[in-house]
């Protein structure tokens, strides 16, 4: 269904964005595919508003509180949150934003809340300075993060927490990984520049674009010349670096970026494992585009008996375990509002199970790379230290904590060696 509004208008964009934001407010992840159901022509604009609204949800929530006597329907509240975000970014056209939000409201909930939306947003414009001043004593509103999240960042990264917050609140960088089977990164950068896309080389196969572009503009993307992958994520294949012809397991492999990178670097006998059948199909599709092959299995890495793992089956294992995603929250802005403090302990339990169950599958003399996209110690260094203390044949070779910044997202890596 489409609204009875001009297709290119802000009102149409708000009409599509509000229900998606409302679903997140009610506990649903953006990963449910709601954005994919938006018409392709409108999707970039809708995603921009959805992501921006969720990044600064703490601020919008605090601004609306004194303006509303009774909470309206979730979709109407979400519409106002989207409008507040747009007011913050379109400062030269506030009345246009209000008008377009009211038009969108006319197509939601039978139009019963047009007056409410108009009144609340105009009250906000009249009281904007005073309302913003009241946020000074509300860290979640001022810094766009839940209080518990801010406390964890301050405790675990006392020297860097403010920089981490700033990184979370901004748009992510766009990194590319050149398929080295088809050409060098330097040669592909020349092709980008010829197409009017600027960037710089990073690492053995990486390019950091100066400005994000649609993948449709990347030369020969469809034929597998390049993939979109954060520069920090590319570090996984470089650290594990399995020898050619090795037997390798990529556990928790979806959507297949690290799987593909391993195969682009060397001929391997690689098994890609993931628990979700739909995401396993994503792995297969990504490998097909790149002209690569692996054995894709659907199964739970913490339950090896369910997918037929044998003891000492692999020379190298990549354990890219489920985690809080606290290092990539700017790409998943819903996560910081959906996560709860107890979720970190749940992830840590799952991570421990996966590590313990995968270790017997590693050959003596082999190596396992434990990886997360988290910045929380419970999922990273503390997890690995506990594993080493109870695993006599495990040794730590390399440990790296990448914090999100202008060039890459946040990742943790620990390369473990199994004594022969």
- The residues annotated as belonging to the active site are 373
Would you call 155 exposed, middle or buried from its count of C-beta atoms within 10 A (0-12, 13-18, 19+)?
exposed
DSSP H helices in 276-377 = 277-290, 335-338, 341-358
Residues contacting 305, CB < 8 A, separation 6+? none
Count of H-run helices and E-run strands, the chain: 16, 11
SS3 1: coil
Note whether 270 and 294 are within 8 A (CB).
yes
- Residues 53 and 56: their CA atoms lie apart, in Å, by 5
Count the Cβ atoms, other than its own, within 10 Å of residue 403.
18
332 DSSP assignment: S
Residue the block writes with tokens 């390798």:
248
Note whether 243 and 315 are within 8 A (CB).
yes
φ, ψ dihedrals at 376, nearest 5°: -90, 130
Q: What Å distances lie between residue 123 and 79, 105, 117, 194, CA to CA?
A: 16, 17, 10, 50
Phi/psi region, residue 352 (left: phi>0; alpha: psi -120 to 50; beta: rest), is: alpha
Nearest residue to 18 (alpha-carbon basis) of 40, 49, 41, 45: 49
* Percent helix, strand and coil across the chain, each to the nearest 5: 50, 15, 35
- Residues 87 and 27: their CA atoms lie apart, in Å, by 25
Cis status of the peptide bond prior to 255, with omega within 30 of 0: yes
**175-178 and 206-209 as β-strands: parallel, antiparallel, unpaired?**
antiparallel
φ, ψ dihedrals at 413, nearest 5°: -135, 135
Note whether 342 and 29 are within 8 A (CB).
no
């Amino acid at each position: 269904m489409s609204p009875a509004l001009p297709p290119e208008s802000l009102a149409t964009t708000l009409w599509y964005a509000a229900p998606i934001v409302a679903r997140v407010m009610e506990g649903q992840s953006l990963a449910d595919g709601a954005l994919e159901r938006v018409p392709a022509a409108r999707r970039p604009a809708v995603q921009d508003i959805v992501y921006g609204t969720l990044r600064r949800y703490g601020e919008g929530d605090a601004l609306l509180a004194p303006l509303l006597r009774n909470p309206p329907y979730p979709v109407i509240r979400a519409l106002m949150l989207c409008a507040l975000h747009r007011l913050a970014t379109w400062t030269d056209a506030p009345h246009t934003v209000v008008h377009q939000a009211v038009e969108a409201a006319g197509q939601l909930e039978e139009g019963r809340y047009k007056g409410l939306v108009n009144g609340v947003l105009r009250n906000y414009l009249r009281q904007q300075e005073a309302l913003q001043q009241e946020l000074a004593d509300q860290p979640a509103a001022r810094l766009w993060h839940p209080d518990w999240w801010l406390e964890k960042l301050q405790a675990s990264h006392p020297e860097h927490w403010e920089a981490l917050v700033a990184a979370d609140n901004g748009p992510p960088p766009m990194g590319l990984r050149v398929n080295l089977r088809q050409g060098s990164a330097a040669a592909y950068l020349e092709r980008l520049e010829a197409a009017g896309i600027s960037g710089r080389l990073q690492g053995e196969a990486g390019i950091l674009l100066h400005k994000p572009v649609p993948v449709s503009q990347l030369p020969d993307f469809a034929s597998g010349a390049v993939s979109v992958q954060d520069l920090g994520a590319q570090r996984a294949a470089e650290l594990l670096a399995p020898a050619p012809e090795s037997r390798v397991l990529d556990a928790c492999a979806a959507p297949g970026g690290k799987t593909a990178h391993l195969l682009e670097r060397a001929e391997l006998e690689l098994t890609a494992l993931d628990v979700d059948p739909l995401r396993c199909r994503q792995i297969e599709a990504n490998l097909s585009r790149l002209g690569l092959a692996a054995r894709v299995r659907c199964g739970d890495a913490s339950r090896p008996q369910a997918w037929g793992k044998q003891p000492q089956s692999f020379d190298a294992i990549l354990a890219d375990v489920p985690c809080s995603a606290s290092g990539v929250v700017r790409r998943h802005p819903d996560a910081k509002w959906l996560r709860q403090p107890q979720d970190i302990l749940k992830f840590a339990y799952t991570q421990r199970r996966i590590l313990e169950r995968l270790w017997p599958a590693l050959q003596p003399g082999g190596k396992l790379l434990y990886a997360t996209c988290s910045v929380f110690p419970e999922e990273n260094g503390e997890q690995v230290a506990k594993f080493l203390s109870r695993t006599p044949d495990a040794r730590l070779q390399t440990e790296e904590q990448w914090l999100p910044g202008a060039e890459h997202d946040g990742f943790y890596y620990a390369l473990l060696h199994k004594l022969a």
